[in-house]
Amino acid sequence: MAEFTMELSDEQKEVRDWLHGFAADVIRPAAAEWDEREETPWPVIQEAAKVGIYSLDFYAQQYFDPTGLGIPMAMEELFWGDAGIALSIVGTGLAAVGVLANGTEEQIGTWIPQMYGDADDVKVAAFCSSEPDAGSDVASMRTRAVYDEAKDEWVLNGTKTWATNGGIANVHVVVAVVDPELGSKGHASFIVPPNTPGLSQGQKFKKHGIRASHTAEVVLDNVRVPGSCLLGGKEKLDARLARAREKAKKGGERVKNAAMATFEASRPAVGAMAVGTARAAYEVALEYAQTRQQFGRPIIDNQGVAFQLADMRTSIDAARLLVWRASWMAINGKPFTAAEGSMSKLFASETAKKVTAQAVQILGGNGYTREYPVERMHRDSAIYTIFEGTSEIQRLVIARTLAGMPIR
């Protein structure tokens, strides 16, 4: 087990500086254009693939970093560049985590490479969990998966929403209900291979922020997938459902479902994204405050501005520490006895919203225009308190964990 440390190794520092250079030289100059276009920045994703950032190998190296800091460090630097473009680059990772968390070794080896493609033909993947009537309330999910034993196929029907890369993905990972009587415990995850009949893109959403990231509905109309596309396999699913039914008879204990397993693994990473956006806005505000002259002196000489910057930096550093702690705990098998993963996501996402708003205020009228990036950063930051569990849900998870209550 790696000891927890706040000091990055020389190798980690090299990776961080490399990512920062890519974010500064490639992502940030393209940010305003793709925000306005509201389209997937395929050329930037391809550039990321060419240098090795958008690849299974890079993701695996960071994911299995024994200190746990590889993924949060990478997320912070890329999202420092721009949240919308960065999410287009890392959005495939949520689907990959879904497979890593629930799949067999064979499934991991078969499907994750197809999620990324290669530098000459980049692909993306989508994780599909939320539905029009089932966002935070995962137990209300209606997408059904029915097993056709004669053909050894699963038949999926339903509509997913808010899916990053939904409809344009090469591989979709879909969470569906296999036993409605068990609520969220009766869910399972399925791979929908490329070009599977019956899967189509529904509405593409025009968003307040992260506009370069494709978000859409995914419609499943009698989608048939081979039995081998059930993540973890049917034997494992049957055993899990049997345990859930037995525990339900005894009064019900918590049983982890497929979607929750993915979200629990990814929440500290979302916190790191928020830290990157907050840090970017803070740096713009700091430089502006040092150079903007009013009443014959830089505005940072005014206590009202200086104290805001002090609070901004303090909150960013505190958020990073919570993210790093949760990431270290996760990779070293430390249980989140106080919902530390949710804590990191909650505090970092709220910090991003507050810090970007303060940055707009410090820049004044300039901050409200698209001539300066803090306006875009402020719009982008709103998503962190919403996706992969709203702030209200994070507080609920933390509170129920502290109270020793089951999390549904």
pLDDT of 245: 87
Instruction: Kindly write down the DSSP assignment for every residue of 212-223, as one continuous string.
Output: TS-EEEEEEEEE
Q: What DSSP designation does 65 have?
A: -
According to DSSP, the β-strands at 171-177 and 125-128 are parallel
> Token pair of 371, please?
């001539």
pLDDT, residue 255, reads: 44
388 is a catalytic site residue: yes
* Structure token pair of residue 154: 């699963």
Residues 38, 283, 388, 392: which is the catalytic one? 388
Token pair for 248? 């339900």
pLDDT at res. 247: 80
Same fold yes or no, 125-249 and 258-402: no
As a whole number of angstroms, the distance between CA 243 and CA 253 comes to 10
Residue 185: per-residue pLDDT: 87
* Cα gap 329→258, rounded to integer Å: 20
d(CA 206, CA 261): 29
Domain ranges of the chain: 10-122, 125-249, 258-402
- What residue type is assigned to position 291 of the chain? T
| pLDDT tens for the 408 residues of the chain, in order | 778 888 899 999 999 999 999 999 999 999 999 999 999 999 999 999 999 999 988 988 998 899 999 999 999 999 999 999 999 999 998 899 889 889 999 999 999 999 999 989 999 999 999 999 876 667 689 999 999 999 999 999 999 999 999 999 999 999 999 999 888 889 999 999 999 999 999 999 999 999 999 999 999 999 999 999 999 999 999 999 999 888 877 765 444 545 555 556 678 999 999 999 999 999 999 999 999 999 999 999 999 999 999 999 999 999 999 999 999 999 988 888 899 999 999 999 999 999 999 999 999 999 999 999 999 999 999 999 998 889 999 999 999 999 988 766
Radius of gyration of the chain (CA): 22
Domain 258-402 has CATH 1.10.3720.10: no
Q: What is the DSSP string of 325-363?
A: HHHHHHHTT---TT-HHHHHHHHHHHHHHHHHHHHHHHH
Quick one: pLDDT at residue 182? Answer: 87
CA 15 to chain centre: 20
Cα 384 to chain centroid, rounded: 9
H runs (alpha helix) in 91-196: 92-102, 105-116
10-122 CATH fold? Butyryl-Coa Dehydrogenase, subunit A; domain 1 (1.10.540)
H or E segment and range at residue 153: strand 153-164
Q: What fold, for 125-249?
A: Butyryl-CoA Dehydrogenase, subunit A; domain 2 (2.40.110)
| DSSP assignment of 224-275 | EEEGGGBTT-HHHHHHHHHHHHHHHHTT------HHHHHHHHHHHHHHHHHH
**How big, in percent rounded to 5, are the helix, strand and coil portions of the chain?**
60, 15, 25
Flag whether the pTM goes above 0.95: no
